[in-house]
Structure 1
């Protein structure tokens, strides 16, 4: 495979930067989008103009994918899941402590003061310890997210004068939240790491979509009425969001 050649396309003022990498193993063009940008794998015998034309056809899809990654604030954090690392919960930093425990057949997180304790078997190898701690953290965050998100959705619904929506905690890598056509709200469990102000912003945003299914002037007015400082909350989430993606 040869190294990537940099290209860009302009779609109505929005720029798509991408690299073309050629390989003997490919018969067709493959396009992937990630935190590190757009990557295009192409056959050696396909000229640049044809590859770029294929990318252009995918323009609307690429813009949607890029917007999703931008929503979460950039490149994910690198984690080793070892003692001393900092993890956030409702905006507060907690220090991870991996504790050897002969009874820890299953690792379960316990919050104690400003620490998150993760008991693991003493003889477990490093890869096994990291996997166990990562899994335990995800379960701990999801359990707490379910509790807080439902309560906050109820509060936001009351402010809007609508019934409490159904809330589902989900694992999604590119969005903080969404609302479907039936008024059901889906929230990324990682959001529980953000401050309560940020949590409330995302829930309020999605709750307003129950009334307005687009980002019309009426939608933003509804959000502003119940949350006059929503723009400040959004900026805070934009600044810190990458810390919560791992």
Structure 2
């Protein structure tokens, strides 16, 4: 959802669920999530966003996400790394006792690769049933250029850095690549199929475009 506040366009990810009150969350990168009760009208959501407009803009401007330079990673107990969309301390992700920096780097990368494989395989099982497709193989890769790919042989590949993204963003990449099994091009049929499973897929694309440069080791 896009809302104009003081002549500035902001994008919000709206999530509906079983809850009594509407709430607005802004993560450490400035990504805005609105959690609303099921059935809440768009007019009500916009009204609440506008009422919090000053706070939202101040928070976003303070974060300065779009221009932020990724900080050098600190490989010690309290070093912070993204995992499934949330910053976690290094010691929460891997064993760190008496290990040197190079070993920690290797072990953390292995953790992301293994975690990505587990999460991707789980999400593929969910969405391949909905899309009625059957991928031949799933591979976890390292890439600076793409988040996922699908070959004409139905082989899927996913960037291990996806383990740093929120689950709904991972779901988008999974759905995107599964849809390529029947639609190898990005034509209208392809995007209609993606949208039939994830109507707000453009918001997930926007997340990757805006924060992908921060999802690094």
1:187 equivalent to 2:158? Answer: yes
Give the structure with higher Rg (CA): 1
Kindly tell me the number of residue pairs found equivalent between the two proteins.
150
What is the match of residue 230 of structure 1? Answer: 201
- Post-superposition shift, 1:82? 2.6
Looking at secondary structure, tell me which structure has more helix per residue: 2
Aligned to 1:119: 96
1:92 and 1:195 in contact (8 A); partners too: yes
RMSD in angstroms over aligned alpha carbons?
Answer: 2.0
Match of 2:114 in 1: 143
TM-score by length of 2: 0.64
Return 5+ residue gaps in structure 1 as ranges: 1-73, 98-114
Structure 2: gaps spanning 5 or more residues: 1-67
1:170 maps to which of 141, 166, 175:
141
Q: Which of 134, 155, 158 pairs up with 2:126?
A: 155
1:167–1:75 CA distance, 2 compared to 1 (3 A):
farther
Deviating beyond 3 angstroms after TM superposition, the runs of 4 or more aligned structure 1 residues are 74-77
| Equivalent of residue 213 in structure 1, options 184, 197, 211 | 184
Distance 1:237 1:170, change over 3 A: same
Q: Is the 8 A contact 2:82 2:165 kept in 1?
A: yes
Q: Partner of 1:190: helix, strand, or coil?
A: helix
Give a deviation string over 1:122-175, Cα, whole Å, max 9, x none: xx7xxxx21111101011111111111111112111111112442111122221
Select which of 68, 76, 84 maps to 1:90. 84
Q: CA deviation at 1:83?
A: 3.3
Contact 2:161 2:215 in 1 (8 A): yes
Q: Output the TM-score relative to the length of structure 1.
A: 0.57
- Give the Cα separation in 1 of the matches to 2:167 and 2:71: 21
